[in-house]
């Protein structure tokens, strides 16, 4: 059962004629659309600046050309298509007993327009399994601007092909735009735009909260969303690990993110060359701990920039939540 807990709307005080409530989603969408169209990047501690993509695109093209010249492009492409599904067990002291064994399918960074047919590979890997919940932590497309219809059609194939008892929860990444929210909700994904929902089992509660992307589109609304974590055992969905300290301080128990692709193109031993993180670079991949909070940085399902991987692997994760108390009985 899902109990929706939308952010409060601002209603005029008495003494004034009641006017239309200010909708937090609409405020967010206006601001997000403005940032997207102006190519603005906002960071938690870094202010606001115009992003010029030419240098980055040129570097990506040069790297692609170099890979083809030295005959490594095909190998990198094959590596990128070898996506695996991995089960991860996560133990918690204070997990509500009714959620012991709760399974969370975690897909992130599929970049569905980056590799033809990747949506079919995702469905194939999940075939024959049923999950308690499916969470999506952003970057559904590769392009930063432009049409979304083809990507949304691919995403709908994924949603239709996966069995999830509590349905689908999602957040946006830095490659996604605000126009994706409506079609994603129409296909059955409950989008958490600085919002949270509560799942209940008997008298036990588990809260899942989600923020907008904080890598390009940080606003203080993401911190407000984290404040709900104090009330329950809470899972935070954030596109990147860059909000780790605020989430731990807010009392989040589990932080699920992606964005880094585990480095995507790494040196032998999985040493990343680029992490695409402004903060929290030590959380580039895998399971980690920060103060009382557990975190998982997913290596990403797809690829960004060039559809190749070296010394990393695309993945789909299934997190199994376990109660330490139940295990000791």
Applying CB under 5 A, the residues found at the interface with Fe ion are 139, 173-174, 259
CB of residue 239 to Fe ion, shortest distance in Å: 6
Min dist CB 81 to Fe ion, Å, is 20
- The minimum distance between CB 174 and Fe ion, in angstroms, equals 4
Which residue number, 96 or 173, has a Cβ lying nearer to Fe ion?
Answer: 173
Is there a contact between 202 and 186 (Cβ–Cβ < 8 Å)? Answer: no
Q: How far is the CB of 122 from Fe ion (least distance, A)?
A: 17
- Please say which residue, 207 or 259, places its beta carbon nearer to Fe ion: 259
Instruction: Name which of 144 and 325 has its Cβ closer to Fe ion.
Output: 144
Which residue, 259 or 285, is less far from Fe ion as judged by CB? Answer: 259
Minimum Å distance from CB 119 to Fe ion? 18
Measured from the CB atom, is 194 or 304 closer to Fe ion? Answer: 304
State the minimum distance, in angstroms, from the CB of residue 23 to Fe ion.
27
What is the SS3 string spanning the chain?
A: CEEEECCCCECCCCCCCCCCCECHHHHHHHHHHHHHHCCEEEECCCEEEECCCHHHHHHHHHHHHHHHHCCCHHHHHHHHHCCEEEEEEEEECCCCHHHCCCEEEEECCCCCCCCCCHHHHHHHHHCCCEECEEEECCCCCCCCCCCCHHHHHHHHHHHHCCEECCCEEECCCCCCCHHHHHHHHHCCEEECCCEEEEEEECCEEEEEEECCCCCCECCCHHHHHHHHHHHCEEEEECCCHHHHHHHHHHCCCEEEECCCHHHCEEECCCEECCCCCCCCHHHCCEEEEECCEEEEECCCCCCCCCCCCECCCCEEEEEEEEEHHHHHC
Nearer to Fe ion, 96 or 305 (CB): 305
Could you tell me the two tokens for 227?
């404040």
Indicate the residue whose CB is closest to Fe ion.
259
Choose between 172 and 254: whose C-beta lies nearer to Fe ion. Answer: 172
Q: How far is the CB of 261 from Fe ion (least distance, A)?
A: 8
């Amino acid at each position: 059962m899902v109990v929706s807990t939308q952010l409060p709307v601002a209603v005029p005080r008495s003494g004034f004629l009641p006017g239309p409530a200010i909708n937090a989603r609409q405020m967010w969408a206006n601001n997000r659309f403005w940032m997207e169209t102006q190519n603005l990047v906002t960071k938690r501690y870094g202010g606001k600046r115009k992003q010029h993509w030419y240098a980055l695109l040129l570097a990506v093209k040069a790297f692609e050309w170099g890979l083809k010249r030295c005959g490594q492009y095909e190998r990198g492409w094959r590596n990128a298509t070898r996506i695996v599904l991995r089960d991860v067990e996560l133990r918690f002291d204070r997990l509500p007993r009714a959620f012991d064994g709760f399974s969370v399918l975690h897909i992130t960074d599929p970049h569905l327009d980056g590799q033809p047919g990747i949506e079919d590979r995702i469905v194939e890997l999940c075939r024959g399994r049923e999950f308690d919940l499916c969470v999506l932590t952003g970057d559904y497309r590769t392009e930063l601007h432009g049409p979304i219809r083809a990507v949304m059609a691919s995403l709908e194939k994924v949603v239709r092909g996966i069995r999830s008892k509590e349905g689908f929860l999602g957040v946006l990444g830095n490659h996604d735009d605000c126009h994706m929210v409506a079609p994603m909700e129409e296909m059955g994904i409950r989008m958490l735009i600085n919002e949270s929902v509560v799942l209940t089992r008997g008298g036990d509660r588990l809260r899942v909260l989600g923020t907008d992307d904080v890598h390009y589109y940080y606003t203080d609304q993401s911190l407000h969303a984290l404040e709900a974590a104090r009330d329950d055992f809470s899972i935070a969905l954030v596109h990147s690990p860059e909000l780790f300290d605020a989430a731990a301080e807010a009392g989040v128990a589990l932080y699920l993110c992606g964005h880094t692709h585990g480095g995507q193109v790494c040196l032998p031993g999985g040493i990343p060359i680029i992490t695409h993180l402004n903060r929290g670079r030590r959380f580039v991949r895998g399971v980690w701990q920060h103060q009382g909070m557990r975190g998982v940085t997913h290596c990403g399902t797809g690829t960004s920039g060039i559809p190749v991987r070296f010394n990393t692997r695309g993945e789909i994760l299934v997190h199994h939540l376990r109660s330490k108390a139940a295990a000791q009985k």
